[in-house]
Amino acid sequence: MTAENVKTYESMAKFSLDSDTRTWIADVLSGLEDGFGLLDTINTCGITPLITPLAKTNIMREDVAVKQITRDRLMSTAPAEYDGYFQVPKTIA
């Protein structure tokens, strides 16, 4: 794993890391590679992946509308708001 590899994943993660952090992550991931390589030693042919430890059972309940949180309460935690909408910087340069 190189700093250049990390840069690829960094763009997926929407980060813009400094070179020290990038190098540190590359070093840590290089150190984990042997551990990740152990997966190759296990034969998993035909094994269904386990996504969650819970058995998938759907519990149905009565569908009742309840007013829990108002729009104003939700918008109050927004970093920037304009007229009830989230405000963000321009999207087109």
**The pair of three-digit structure tokens given for residue 22, joined into one six-digit string:** 């990038």
Q: How far is the CB of 7 from other proteins (least distance, A)?
A: 10
Hey, which bits of the chain come out as E strands? 81-82, 85-86
- Interaction between residue 29 and other proteins (CB under 8 A): yes
- The contacts of residue 67 (CB under 8 Å, 6+ apart) are none
Residue from 19, 48, 61, 64 binding other proteins (CB under 8 A): 48
x/- string (CB under 8 A) for other proteins, residues 58-87? ----------xx---xx-xxxxx-----x-
